C-alpha cells in the first residue's frame, strides 16, 4: 500500500485530530460520506483498525513500513507500544517537524527529500532515518534551504519543542538530547490497540 496523497481534511474528519498530517481543522465534525452522520456501533476490530490508521496517516508511513516498525518494537524486550511510538517519533521527518522547521510531517519529509537537511554535518535525504541522542540536525548552509525553512517557521505545526530536543532559531540548528517521553507524543493514540491489531502477525 502506497503513501497517502489524497485530501487530508477528509482523513482528519474520519479519524480525529492528526497534528502531523494537517494544521487545518475541518468545519464539519462528523466523518465524510453518505452515512457520516449516522449512528453506528463499531466492532472491536474497527476500533483497533482506526487507531492503527491514526498512526499510519499521522506519521505518513506505508502499511509495510508500519508492520516493520511493529516487528522491530517487539524485539526490543520492553513495552512494544512504547517502543513503536519511539521509533516513529525519532524518524528524521518527525524530528524536524517537532523542532518547528516544517508545519506538517509531509512538509518535513519534503525538506529531507530535497536535500535541505544535514545530520552531523552530512546531507541526509532519507526521511525514515532514525535520529539518536547526540545527533546535530541543521539546515543546509545555502540560501535556498534557509529561505524554505524560514518561510515554514512562520506557520509552525506545534508550539512547543519536546523535552528531548532543542532548537536554535537563529542558527537553524537542533540537537537530539535523548529519546522522546510518552507524555510528549502529540498524537492522541492508544498504542496498545495498535499492537493488538497486529497481534495476528508472526
Tens digit of pLDDT for each residue in 42-77?
A: 788 888 988 999 899 899 899 999 999 999 999 998
Go through the domains of the chain in sequence order and give each one's CATH number.
8-87+186-200 (1.10.1050.10), 91-178 (3.10.290.10)
**Residue 138: what pLDDT?**
95
DSSP state at residue 130 = B
pLDDT at 2 over 70: no
CB 96 within 8 A of CB 136: no
CB 124 within 8 A of CB 117: yes
pLDDT at 15 over 90: no
The string of pLDDT tens digits covering residues 126-147 is 999 999 999 999 999 999 999 9
Question: In 3D, which of 59, 182, 84, 145 has the Cα closest to residue 137?
Answer: 145
Whole-model pTM: value is 0.85
Amino acid at each position: 500500500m502506497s503513501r497517502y496523497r489524497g485530501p487530508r481534511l477528509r482523513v482528519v474528519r474520519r479519524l480525529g485530530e492528526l497534528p502531523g498530517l494537517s494544521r487545518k481543522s475541518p468545519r464539519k465534525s462528523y466523518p465524510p460520506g453518505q452515512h457520516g452522520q449516522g449512528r453506528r456501533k463499531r466492532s472491536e476490530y474497527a476500533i483497533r483498525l482506526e487507531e492503527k490508521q491514526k498512526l499510519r496517516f499521522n506519521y505518513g508511513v506505508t502499511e509495510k513500513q508500519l508492520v516493520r516498525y511493529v516487528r522491530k518494537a517487539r524485539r526490543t524486550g520492553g513495552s512494544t507500544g512504547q517502543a513503536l511510538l519511539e521509533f516513529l517519533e525519532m524518524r528524521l521527518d518527525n524530528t524536524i517537524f517537532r523542532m518547528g522547521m516544517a508545519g506538517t510531517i509531509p512538509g518535513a519529509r519534503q525538506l529531507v527529500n530535497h536535500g535541505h537537511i544535514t545530520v552531523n554535518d552530512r546531507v541526509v535525504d532519507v526521511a525514515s532515518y532514525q535520529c539518536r541522542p547526540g545527533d546535530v540536525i541543521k539546515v543546509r548552509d545555502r540560501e535556498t534551504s534557509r529561505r524554505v525553512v524560514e518561510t515554514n517557521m512562520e506557520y509552525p505545526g506545534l508550539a512547543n519543542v519536546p523535552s528531548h530536543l532543542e532548537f536554535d532559531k537563529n542558527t537553524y540548528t537542533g540537537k537530539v538530547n535523548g529519546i522522546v517521553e510518552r507524555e510528549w507524543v502529540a498524537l492522541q493514540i492508544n498504542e496498545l490497540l495498535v499492537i493488538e491489531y497486529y497481534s495476528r502477525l508472526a
